[in-house]
Amino acid sequence: MNKLTLFVFLSIVMTSCQWTAKKLPDENRLLKEEIDKIDWTKVDSYPSVEQCDSLFDETERKKCFFEFITQNLQEELSLDTLIGRFEQLDTLKVLVTVQADSRIQLELYSFPDSLKTQTMTIDSLLKAKERNFPVVQPAIKRGLPVKSQFLVPLILNRQPH
């Protein structure tokens, strides 16, 4: 009877440990679930420049940043020097890439095939601008700097002849 009591006691202890022991979730499954929750098409905060950093409203900071980029490119490209070369165009689209390490890349976007041979002037201006572009803090996603891209339309100011 002593052995039987010991056996019953050990059986209860062993099965009760199994009841209370929880199975740990699979690490890879948890990681996949967390990654699937992330909207990779949006950032938590847009890139920014020093004069926009004092704005606390995210919408205002974004507006300030895009105005800064547009104005900076408009001034640098001296678009009045391009008038006459691209009379068929009233707007140039520039693809701006802000790398996670704050580097800037500028390139023409969706340029008409008929004018492709004339783009060297604009490309050289954009490459020169990349080298001395003001410091831009990259976009942030989940606390980390990330690469972001956006299109900036540049209006070619038409002067009446």
d(CA 1, CA 145): 70
Residue 74's pLDDT is 80
CA distance 107 to 111: 10
What is the C-alpha separation between 101 and 16, in angstroms, rounded?
55
Residues 6+ apart with CB under 8 A from 55: 61, 64
Q: Looking at residue 33, what is its pLDDT?
A: 80
Spatial CB neighbours of 96, under 8 Å, sequence gap ≥ 6: 69, 104, 105, 106, 149, 150, 151, 152
CA distances from 3 to 7, 14, 35, 99 (A): 6, 16, 54, 73
Q: Which helix (H) or strand (E) is 121 found in, with range?
A: helix 120-131
Summarize pLDDT for 11-63 with one digit per residue, the tens: 666 655 455 556 667 788 877 887 777 777 788 888 999 999 888 888 899 99
Q: Tens of pLDDT along 54-84?
A: 888 888 999 999 999 988 888 766 555 555 5
User: What is the reported pTM?
Assistant: 0.69
